[in-house]
Amino acid sequence: MRASILGSATVLTAMAAPAAASEVTITVTNMRSTEGVVRACITALEKAFPKCKKDPESLRTVVPAGETVTITFKDVKPGKYAIALLHDENNNGKADRALGMMPKEGYGFSRDAPVRMAPPKFKDAVFDMGSAPQKFTIKMRYFL
């Protein structure tokens, strides 16, 4: 009887254990300059994409710009996420625009989600994160 109780406890413990977190590594290519920084965020909330500010659980980082940039997010739990990048060339903390609409600085999204008249939708950039590390290459794009 005791062995079956211990066996049941082990099964319950395994079922209650949270899914293992892992890493997302992004290689950013096609940078037009080494000026400024690259701002990156990863979010699981559709309503927070692409800025991530409305998601208190989003992961954000800022790294120096370079010819090629590598960004790693650690402790990413399994789920559905989207990534947004900004090449903030003047490091002013925002996406500068020309004529109020057209981005003057570079941008990129997971799954190379297309940009038309507005940023892509979450569903176009979303990817599944399991417990294994993920690696992405995101091409920085410039409108002007």
pTM as predicted: 0.84
- Domains of the chain, earliest start first: 19-139 (2.60.40)
If we measure between CA atoms, which residue out of 50, 21, 53, 71 comes closest to residue 125?
A: 50
- Cα atoms in the 13 Å half-sphere on the side-chain side of 116: 3
User: What is the residue-averaged pLDDT of the chain?
Assistant: 89
Torsion angle of the four alpha carbons 53, 98, 106, 76, in this order, in degrees rounded to the nearest 10: 10
Q: What is the pLDDT of residue 42?
A: 98
- pLDDT tens-place string over residues 56-70: 999 999 999 999 999
pLDDT of res. 13: 45
Identify any residues that bridge with 122 across adjacent strands, giving them in sequence order.
none
pLDDT above 60 (res 82): yes
| Stretch among 19-23, 35-39, 41-45 having the lowest mean pLDDT | 19-23
